[in-house]
Amino acid sequence: MGGFFDQLFLGCQVAFSAMNLLVCFAGVSIGTLIGVLPGIGPGGAISLLLPITFGMPPASAIILLAGIYYGAQYGGSTTSILVNIPGEASSVVTCLDGYQMALQGRAGPALGIAAFGSFIAGTLGVIMLMFLAVPLSEVVVNFGPPEFFSIIILALSILIYLARGSLMKAGVMAILGIILSQIGIDLVSGKDRFTFGIMYLLDGISLIPLVMGIFGIGEVLNNLNSPESREIYKTKIKGLLPTLADWKASIGPIIRGTFLGFFLGILPGSGAAIPTFISYTMEKRLSKHPEKFGRGAIEGVAGPESANNAGSTGTFVPLFTLGIPSNSVMAMLLGALMIHGLQPGPFLIKSNPEIFWGTIVSMYLGNIMLLILNLPLIGVWVKLLKVPYQILSPLILFFCVIGSYTIRNSVGDVIIMFIFGIIGFVFIKYQYEPAPLVMAFVLGDLLETSLRQSLLMSGGSFVIFITRPFSAACLLVTLLLLSANLLSRRHRETISKLA
């Protein structure tokens, strides 16, 4: 137990340093702002700010980027409740009852319970992360290349299975991401792959221009192509502190949403959005008055808002223990760790405990900062919602160009960014989710390395993947997931023909 408190004390030393306190505050503030403003999202914000972190110590960089991610979950509820436009995908469900509460003059309690529920869920989520990640990393440290290969295959399969759109489209995106990751010189054979004689591509495609293009430029083009009108709730907001009756109705959904969100957040592809829908459905079924849902039920705000914050914390478990991201934002954090010369995975917690424990303690502090920020500054966020997107978009484009150029002082990176910006816009227009592509791109090298090492261990035999118990279990689950999806699709087609 003494070792645990020693590590926690180390985390406090890291998180309470003047620089990291400032970085944590900046991260959660930017995250809240990004969550409030529809159309940007944490993925876009992190892709814009990733180049800034290159000059920071690794712990400070991760504290900043993590703060942006979980801070955005707080800010998204403000937009959903006051404007009926989700600032984040994870805040879509909050629109259903949050905006109805605002129309009934109860915007204050809706915003209050969203903030308090987020704080409780975020804090409990960090506690679960702290106690789960360390023992899990000690188990994972015994894994070899076959296990990591199978885990990556399973992670990509779950991401495709949980994709909001077509399974086929998600699969195409994952394959495209793996192909893009193979561009450049093969370190084993020394031959160039997919470069087409272009010298710039010999070093491969950098993660930063790719994500800046897809999430930054692509989102700007999409929002300018289909601007949304924002009708902001104009009545004076009062009574931010929920009443005892509100707490009595909300405490159950908050606790259930916290545990549901955290454990679903661990699954690749789940993130913070899917738990909110499940939480809302669960609370509606458990309620004695389900007819109130969609008409201003405070439980419909408390449960999903807790689930999305706990879910965002749960996504850090596979990142820190396996070195495998569960969504596109975690893929960028994985990229940030690798850029700083760190290898995410089970050895990270042992070899660089200051990063893991510093991030953990900073998340405690960040949740306190977010609670303090969100309630008193509601008026400021409302004013920011009035800023036209036509003013924001040139600023986003400017930061994208500067950020992509300064990585390697290369015009080629800027060109690649704009190419992927156009591709990202096409993806959005035709409903191709970018998350499988980004995750597969980041994991592509590890997937190839694990495959090669496994085949070297077995003398070229693929049997090694099914003779190792954990590897075989991962591949079996992958097969079951894909089979279940195909069977359900055939079932739907049969029903549609009969109808």
User: With bands split at pLDDT 50, 70 and 90, how would you rate the model's confidence at 289?
Assistant: confident
pLDDT of 51 higher than 60: yes
| DSSP bridge partners of 192 | 185
For residue 429 the two structure tokens come to: 């227009």
Average pLDDT over residues 203-217: 81
pLDDT of 63 higher than 90: yes
Percent pLDDT > 90 in the chain is 16
Average pLDDT over residues 150-160: 83
Average pLDDT, the chain: 82
The values of phi and psi at residue 206, to 5°, are -75, 145
Average pLDDT over residues 122-148: 85
Task: Output the CA torsion sign for 16, 19, 25, 27.
Answer: negative
Three-class SS of the chain: CHHHHHHHHHHHHHHCCHHHHHHHHHHHHHHHHHHHCCCCHHHHHHHHHHHHHHHCCHHHHHHHHHHHHHHHHHHHHHHHHHHCCCCCHHHHHHHHHHHHHHHCCCHHHHHHHHHHHHHHHHHHHHHHHHHHHHHHHHHHCCCCHHHHHHHHHHHHHHHHHCCCCCHHHHHHHHHHHHHHHCCEECCCCCCEECCCCCHHHHHCCCHHHHHHHHHHHHHHHHHHHCCCCCCCCCCCCCCCCCCHHHHHHHHHHHHHHHHHHHHHHCCCCCCCCHHHHHHHHHHHHHCCCHHHCCCCCCHHHHHHHHHHHHHHHHCHHHHHHHCCCCCHHHHHHHHHHHHCCCCCCHHHHHHCHHHHHHHHHHHHHHHHHHHHHHCCCHHHHHHHCCCCHHHHHHHHHHHHHHHHHHHHCCHHHHHHHHHHHHHHHHHHHCCCCCHHHHHHHHHHHHHHHHHHHHHHHHCCCCCHHHHCHHHHHHHHHHHHHHHHHHHHHHHHHHHHHHC
pLDDT of 469 higher than 80: yes
For residue 20 the two structure tokens come to: 């990291």
pLDDT of 25 higher than 90: yes
Average pLDDT over residues 42-67: 85
pLDDT tens, position by position, 341-371: 887 777 788 888 899 899 999 999 998 998 8
Give the length of the chain: 499
User: With bands split at pLDDT 50, 70 and 90, how would you rate the model's confidence at 163?
Assistant: low
The values of phi and psi at residue 424, to 5°, are -60, -40
Average pLDDT over residues 131-157: 84
Domain boundaries of the chain, sorted by first residue: 2-498
For residue 298 the two structure tokens come to: 């405070």
- Model pTM? 0.76
Distance CA 266, CA 253 (A): 20
